[in-house]
Structure formats: structure tokens, C-alpha cells
């Protein structure tokens, strides 16, 4: 079945029910459920403290290169019932304390009209199940995301890093795959932690990782050490065949740039006004194969498309436009990839996600018998991102953002789909 035979655009996505307070305030703390649970004089101080912890963790993770843009989510416990979490669709580098959302762990309702991260359920389960945890970090970090596609637990962590074994635990489980923001994903992560009470990190298959800690430092170092261990495992799985050469010089072209070559101007379709010729190491390495790749990590399906085709460098611009018809990225054999976006940072972000996706594809080829995200799941991820979530970055309209809570909508969508492998 071709991509053109399998569309979600004509399906009716149910409207999200919501009850947003017009004037969010701490007296009393009223959630969507209408439950007032705390008063101003007992909560304001600890809420402010938790929000500051989240912002501090955001900065630490950005500086370390473990998170970027709006990817991932970070939270801090307020008390037994509440936690503070990053909002949906807002970049880490511009966050302010008032944008950090207070969520009730028992039912995931929240205070105010800024929506919390769509993965708030994962955080809620951890705080409910692990009373010693005061900080939760969910990332799409490079090597941890890449090795997650294998679907294997990481055993004997101490042999890879004694520090990681001591802090994170000697076993890092891999939770089964689930679509972003769904109960399935939440339950899979919850089970992985429950089955491994000594672990402070869980890989999320084809997605990313979750790390926990008693405080900011322990959760942050768990994420950092997880990446260190994952990079070593990646090299082992690939038998040392890694793309460790420096990245080549990438080029950015924007609409109206008279110096832009013909192919760059032709690549600006589907409303995209910028293109990047990416020369990142794994992108170049995978492009040399001259073959299309499917996403092994779901964020590439969301941002790039369900099938990243490959064109020849001497090919025609019509072939390039055709390859970009249902995707925002295309590999160019031996030369890297062309990534398109509506704004320069969108194109750059796609190049970053594609690099991780190419690293995953290289690992899959080296390891053997590793399957990409199913076409059905990839299309679902792509549709929700393109039609809903990506609008939030452009408009900043939290109230009309339906993508941040599409748990439960998947069943409705799937009823209208044909069975696709």
C-alpha cells in the first residue's frame, strides 16, 4: 500500500474536552477537575521552588546537549500530590517560571491555561510509584535514543562505567514501544521502572529515555551517564564502525536568496522557505548507501516524514521535488541530505533529528533484524505533529493546541484506518 492510499486527513479527530480557568491563581488551587486542594500560604513557596528547579535543570541539560528546542520534558516534585513540569511546545531557552505548569499526579489535571507536556502521565506515574524521586527528566538524547531501537535492556552497566553503575544502577531496562503521549507508552515506562526498582534510567524503545533522581544533580548526572554508556554500547553494537569524523560544512539557503542554487529554490515547496544541505557525519555515512530510510526513532517520523528518500546528486530538480512531496528531508547519495523548513531553525532542527535517525539506521543495519517504526505508527506520529503540535511553536496558542493531549484519540483514529504493517 502506498503512502497516498493511507491518509489520516479525512478522519474526524475528536475535539478535546477541557475546562480552563480564566484567571489561574493559587487561592484556592483549582484544577480542571474542580478540586481545590491547597491554599496560597502553604503552597506558593514550594511551587516557586519547584519551578526554579525545573528551569535550572533545563539550562543544565541544554548546556550539556541532552535536550534542545521543545524536545523532551522535565519536572520536579512539589509534594505528594503535585509536581511542576515544562509546558507543551515551548522552547527551553525562553521559558519563564510562570510557564512551568503545576500538575496533580493522581489524575493529571493542571492549574491554569498553559498546557503541560503531553508526557505528563509518565511523570505522574513515577512520582506516585517512587516516593524517593523528586526530579524526572525525559529526553530524546542522541545515543540513548539510537540504542533504544534494539529493544534490549542494558546489562552489567558497571562494566561500561563504574560511575554509571553506582548512580544509575547495574541494569537499565528498555520499555516497550508506544505512540507518543499514549497510555500504552506511559504504562510501558511504568512497568519498566516497577520491574527494576534499583534503576534510575529507562530507555524508551524508538523514542528516547527517562531518568530520575532524588534531586536535580542526581537526575542530571543519570542522564549524562546514560548517554556515556549508550555511546559505548553503540560503538560495540556497530563493531566500532562509527561516524566519528568531523561534520562537513552545512549550507543554509532561504527564500529570496539570489545566491541559492536552482535545486535549493526548487526544494522550497509545501510552504517551506528554507533548506539546509546537511553534512553531518552519520547523515553523510548513510547517504553513501544510496537508499531510502524509514524512521527508527519516532521524532524523525514526526518532523521528517515516514519515508526519507535518496536522490542522486546529478539527478533532476523534478526528482528532488518528487522526493520532498510527502517529506521534509531527502538524502543525497554521498553528499548528506537536504532538510527543509518554514524557518531556518526548523530546517536546522530537522537536520539534527535526521542525524540521529541516520545513526539509528546505521545501527540497525550493523546489528541486524531491527525493524523501523511501523508505517501505521509513523503516519500517526507525522499527522499529529504536522496538523496540531507544530502550530504551537508558530502561534503560541496553548488554548487551541489539541496535540498536547491526544491520549485516547488513537483508538478513534485507528478505527478509521485500514490494517497496515
The yes-or-no verdict on residue 222 having pLDDT over 60 is yes
Residue 86 to residue 91: CA distance in whole angstroms: 9
Residue 144 to residue 174: CA distance in whole angstroms: 10
Average pLDDT of the residues in 10-19: 32
The yes-or-no verdict on residue 53 having pLDDT over 50 is yes
Contact 138, 202 (CB under 8 A): no
Q: Which of 42-56, 175-189, 359-373, 392-406 comes out lowest in average pLDDT?
A: 392-406
Average pLDDT of the residues in 349-375: 96
Q: How many other C-beta atoms lie within 10 A of the C-beta of residue 24? A: 17
Residue 51's pLDDT is what? 95
pLDDT, tens digit, 9 for 90 and up, residues 108-128: 999 988 999 999 999 999 999
> What pLDDT band is residue 64 in, cutting at 50, 70 and 90?
confident
| Mean of all residue pLDDT scores within the chain | 84
Residues with catalytic function: 119
Contact 147, 172 (CB under 8 A): no
Measured at the CA of 94, the angle between CA 122 and CA 178, to 5 degrees, comes to 25
Nearest to 372 by CA among 209, 238, 206: 206
> What pLDDT band is residue 397 in, cutting at 50, 70 and 90?
low
Average pLDDT of the residues in 93-107: 93
Residue 389's pLDDT is what? 54
pLDDT, tens digit, 9 for 90 and up, residues 232-282: 999 999 988 888 777 778 899 999 888 888 889 888 988 899 999 999 999
What residue ranges define each of the domains in the chain, with the CATH number in brackets? 43-237 (3.40.225.10), 251-366 (3.40.225.10)
For residue 188, with 0-12 CB atoms within 10 Å meaning exposed, 13-18 middle and 19 or more buried, which class applies? buried
Residue 43's pLDDT is what? 63
Range ranked top by mean pLDDT from 41-50, 243-252, 300-309: 300-309
Contact 155, 379 (CB under 8 A): no
> What pLDDT band is residue 376 in, cutting at 50, 70 and 90?
very high
Contact 355, 280 (CB under 8 A): yes
pLDDT, tens digit, 9 for 90 and up, residues 160-206: 999 999 999 999 999 999 999 999 999 999 999 999 999 999 999 99
> What pLDDT band is residue 49 in, cutting at 50, 70 and 90?
very high
More confident call, 382 vs 21:
382
Contact 100, 116 (CB under 8 A): no
Q: Which of 5-14, 85-94, 98-107 comes out lowest in average pLDDT?
A: 5-14
- The whole-model pTM stands at 0.84
pLDDT, tens digit, 9 for 90 and up, residues 343-357: 998 999 999 999 999
Residue that has been written with the C-alpha cell 500504552 in this structure = 184
Question: How many angstroms separate the Cα of 292 from the Cα of each of 60, 274, 311?
Answer: 36, 22, 9
Average pLDDT of the residues in 284-300: 96
Amino acid at each position: 500500500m502506498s503512502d497516498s492510499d493511507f491518509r489520516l486527513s479525512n478522519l474526524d479527530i475528536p475535539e478535546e474536552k477541557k475546562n480552563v480557568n480564566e484567571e489561574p491563581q493559587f487561592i484556592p488551587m483549582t484544577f480542571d477537575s474542580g478540586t481545590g486542594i491547597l491554599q496560597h500560604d502553604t503552597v506558593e513557596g514550594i511551587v516557586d521552588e519547584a519551578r526554579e528547579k525545573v528551569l535550572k535543570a533545563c539550562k543544565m541539560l541544554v548546556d550539556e546537549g541532552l535536550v534542545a528546542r521543545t524536545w523532551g520534558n522535565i519536572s520536579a516534585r512539589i509534594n505528594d500530590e503535585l509536581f511542576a513540569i515544562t509546558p507543551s511546545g515551548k522552547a527551553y531557552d525562553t521559558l519563564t517560571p510562570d510557564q512551568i505548569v503545576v500538575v496533580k499526579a493522581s489524575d493529571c489535571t493542571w492549574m491554569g491555561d498553559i498546557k503541560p507536556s503531553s508526557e505528563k502521565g509518565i511523570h505522574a506515574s513515577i512520582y506516585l510509584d517512587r516516593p524517593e524521586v523528586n526530579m524526572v527528566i525525559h529526553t530524546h538524547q542522541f545515543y540513548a535514543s539510537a540504542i533504544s531501537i534494539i529493544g534490549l535492556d542494558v546489562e552489567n552497566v558497571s562494566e561500561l562505567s563504574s560511575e554509571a553503575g553506582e548512580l544509575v544502577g547495574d541494569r537499565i531496562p528498555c520499555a516497550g514501544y508506544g505512540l507518543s503521549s499514549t497510555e500504552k507508552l506511559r504504562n510501558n515506562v511504568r512497568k519498566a521502572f516497577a520491574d527494576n526498582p534499583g534503576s534510575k534510567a529507562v530507555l524508551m524503545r524508538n523514542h528516547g529515555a527517562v531518568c530520575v533522581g532524588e534531586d536535580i544533580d542526581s537526575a542530571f548526572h543519570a542522564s549524562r551517564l546514560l548517554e556515556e554508556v549508550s555511546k559505548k554500547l553503540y560503538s560495540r553494537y556497530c563493531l566500532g564502525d562509527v561516524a566519528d569524523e568531523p561534520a562537513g560544512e552545512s549550507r543554509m539557503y532561504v527564500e529570496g536568496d539570489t545566491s541559492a542554487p536552482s535545486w535549493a529554490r526548487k526544494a522550497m515547496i509545501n510552504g517551506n522557505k528554507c533548506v539546509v544541505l546537511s553534512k553531518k557525519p552519520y547523515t553523510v555515512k548513510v547517504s553513501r548507501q544510496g537508499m531510502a530510510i524509514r524512521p527508527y526513532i519516532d521524532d524523525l517520523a514526526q518532523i521528517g516524514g515516514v519515508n526519507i528518500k535518496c536522490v542522486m546528486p546529478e539527478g533532476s530538480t523534478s526528482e528532488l521535488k518528487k522526493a520532498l512531496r510527502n517529506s521534509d528531508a531527502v538524502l543525497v547519495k554521498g553528499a548528506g541530505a537536504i532538510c527543509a523548513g518554514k524557518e531556518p531553525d526548523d530546517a536546522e532542527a530537522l537536520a539534527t533529528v535526521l542525524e540521529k535517525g541516520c545513526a539509528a539506521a546505521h545501527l540497525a543495519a550493523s546489528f541486524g533484524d531491527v525493524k523501523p517504526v511501523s508505517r501505521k505508527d509513523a503516519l500517526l506520529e507525522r499527522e499529529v505533529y504536522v496538523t496540531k503540535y507544530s502550530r504551537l511553536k508558530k502561534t503560541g496558542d496553548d488554548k487551541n493546541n489539541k496535540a498536547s493531549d491526544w491520549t485516547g484519540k488513537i483508538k478513534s483514529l485507528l478505527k478509521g484506518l485500514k490494517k497496515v504493517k
